[in-house]
Structure 1
Amino acid sequence: MHELGLTRLYLLRAMYLFIAVGLGINFWPGLIYPPPTASGPGTVVQALLGTLALLAALGVRYPVRLLPLLIFELIWKLVWVIAYGWPAWRAGHMDAYASGTLFACMIGIVLVPLALPWRYVCRTFALERGDRWLRSSDASQTGERPVVSPGRNG
């Protein structure tokens, strides 16, 4: 199905497990037992990161299929550090929350690129032909619905 070695698959699984456990410990207690007055933007972040923990747990089973999750993890952390963390640090305006977030983001920025199979990611998500946007010409002429296979060239 894919050409990644077993060592790379275990490295990916370890990364997903690290994310799932880290986020699960920090965010799932608040999702399971929310305070009765919970509302506001903090709850959106908590729900989003709780969902990320669930998907990362699924990545332990399907490490290649969930590679976009690791790419998302890397990109959002880079965006936060560049747009918010680094400027706040340079200006000397780091509170405890920002310092903790910067530390967590830097861990991800270092570890996720080490786990990602970059050649596979580039080949699959940048160079490989994307899914079609329109009906195939055969199906549109006969009036039949196109068959979409779950394979890579579907």
Structure 2
Amino acid sequence: MNDISNIRLYALRAIYLLVVVGLALTLWPEVLASKKPIASWGFFHGVQTCMMGAFWLLCALGIRYPLQMLPILMWELIWKTMWLVAVPLPLYLNGTFDEKLLPNVMAIGAVVLIYLVMPWSYVYHHYVKKQGNPWRKLG
């Protein structure tokens, strides 16, 4: 029921590693080589940078603890799917899709890899079917 194969665990680790390496190559050089402090980057750019740094750290933990860190992959899966459905899909269906958006769609569309490696039975049993923690101690 909740047994996850080694292949699935290694596939999850590969996803976490892909994120860690990808952000190491794109995020950290910008942060470390910046002549200006993050506080001067502007509100949204600073928030995005800090959020991606936290995401990077949590994905690094996911390499060691792939099942315990599933909520971080679930968050990634949900926001990327929402964006793909809410932003480029309506533009495409209306015939107003701007080709400049294509690199973002391709990068965010890589979320399909998470759909493929997610242990859906485990997610169902641990996050849907399993009884939640009590709100307060009884007795």
Which segments of 5 or more consecutive residues in structure 1 lack a partner in the other structure?
Answer: 138-154
Which segments of 5 or more consecutive residues in structure 2 lack a partner in the other structure?
Answer: none
1:16/1:57 contact within 8 Å kept: yes
Q: TM-score, normalised by structure 2?
A: 0.86
Structure number with higher helix proportion: 2
1:94 deviates by 2.6
User: What letter corresponds to residue 27 of structure 1 in structure 2?
Assistant: L
- Equivalent residue, structure 1, for 2:42: 39
Pair 1:20-2:23 in alignment:
no
Tell me the secondary structure at the aligned position of residue 3 of structure 1. Answer: coil
User: What letter corresponds to residue 27 of structure 2 in structure 1?
Assistant: F
1:22 deviates by 1.3
1:113 deviates by 0.9
- Equivalent residue, structure 2, for 1:72: 75
- Equivalent residue, structure 2, for 1:152: none
What is the count of residue pairs matched by the alignment?
134
Tell me the secondary structure at the aligned position of residue 119 of structure 1. Answer: helix
- Equivalent residue, structure 2, for 1:119: 121
Moved over 4 A (4+): none
Q: TM-score, normalised by structure 1?
A: 0.78
- Equivalent residue, structure 1, for 2:107: 104
1:13 deviates by 0.4
1:15/1:112 contact within 8 Å kept: yes
2:20/2:56 contact within 8 Å kept: yes
**How far apart are the structure 1 equivalents of 2:85 and 2:45?**
21
